[in-house]
Amino acid sequence: MSGAGGCGEYASNVALRLARVAGKPPLQVAEILRARLVGVGGVRDVVVTGPGFLNFLLEEQADPLGGLVREIRRCGARYGHGDALAGEVVALRVPYEVRAEVVADAVVRIVASQGGRATVEHREPVNVRPVPAPEDPAPLGPDAARWALLHPAAHDRPRITADHLVQREANPLFRVRYAHARVRAAGRNAARLGFDAEPGRLGEGAAHSDALQSPLADYPRILTAAATQRAPDRLARHLVTVADAVLPFLTCVLPLGEEKPSAAHRARLALAEAAGTVLAGGLSLLGIDAPEHL
């Protein structure tokens, strides 16, 4: 059994090899084998393709990473949304100060992602009072300004500097947006090579996948915590973690040299796109654009 080709996580040509011994056409042998293999040992389905190749799709329980990717693909931008605050009305009382206003605006969306509803009022007693911005962040532009105000914890003084505009690794906002743009570029390049994403086994050589699985699986918990604690900084910092995990993984998504696209490449692309979905969804909740190109 190998990981190359086909439409499942693994493919096998065993039916072709047995056909001569059995004295039957390869397709007939493949169908006989398929009937015996479906549902056995974590096999979700077996698809017969070509002259008699068997393509194995595994149960999600046998492939937890594939199950996670399927869940993210199913939910799309709503992955991580839940009902932890269902029916609750959260009253946010903020001072007339730019950082408090921006934090409250993000909290409204994050609370809504967990089924609650937040209202914003300007009256005492104030219950949203982050350390104020030392100067007007508007010259940074809307996205960098919001990030500068939302990324630090509420008790930390935000830095309103041009560092948020620099396109280099030292800038967390750049890394998050760059990672999203790189994922989208990988999808476009895969389409040009004639394949698309399909969750499954990553195959050998999928370095850094373990480092990516954990922050993707943890995203719903982080989003719930950001909502219940009124802390958009938790979401912002988690997006940096996702970006830092997906960027090195992207090096193994596309075939190299004369390598042909395989089921493993489709699975790797699906995992990368799942990370892109999380990055885009999280940035949207913060009110920040997720560019397709950067």
The pLDDT assigned to 137 comes to 97
The pLDDT assigned to 12 comes to 85
Query: Quick check: is 121 in a domain?
Result: no
- Counting the structural domains of the chain, the total is 1
Confidence of residue 19 (pLDDT cuts 50, 70, 90): confident
Query: Quick check: is 106 in a domain?
Result: no
* Both structure tokens of 211: 């480092």
Q: Is the pLDDT of residue 37 over 90?
A: no
The pLDDT assigned to 74 comes to 96
Burial of 169 (0-12, 13-18, 19+ CB in 10 A): exposed
Residues recorded for the chain: 294
Confidence of residue 2 (pLDDT cuts 50, 70, 90): very low
> Average pLDDT for residues 171-180, to the nearest whole number?
98
* Both structure tokens of 279: 């990055």
Q: What is the pTM of this model?
A: 0.80
Confidence of residue 15 (pLDDT cuts 50, 70, 90): confident
The CATH number for 28's domain is 3.30.1360.70
Q: Is the pLDDT of residue 267 over 50?
A: yes
> Average pLDDT for residues 75-91, to the nearest whole number?
96
Confidence of residue 203 (pLDDT cuts 50, 70, 90): confident
Contact 219, 239 (CB under 8 A): no
Note down the domain range covering 29: 10-60
> Average pLDDT for residues 173-184, to the nearest whole number?
98
Q: Is the pLDDT of residue 3 over 80?
A: no
Over the stretch 221-265, which tens digit does the pLDDT of each residue have? Answer: 999 999 999 999 999 999 999 999 999 999 999 999 888 999 999
Query: Quick check: is 284 in a domain?
Result: no
> For residue 275, which of 144, 79, 113, 8 has the smallest C-alpha distance?
79
> Average pLDDT for residues 69-91, to the nearest whole number?
96
Q: Is the pLDDT of residue 205 over 80?
A: no
Query: Quick check: is 49 in a domain?
Result: yes
Query: Quick check: is 177 in a domain?
Result: no
Query: Quick check: is 188 in a domain?
Result: no
* pLDDT > 70 fraction of the chain, expressed in percent and rounded: 94
* Both structure tokens of 93: 């009382």
Query: Quick check: is 119 in a domain?
Result: no
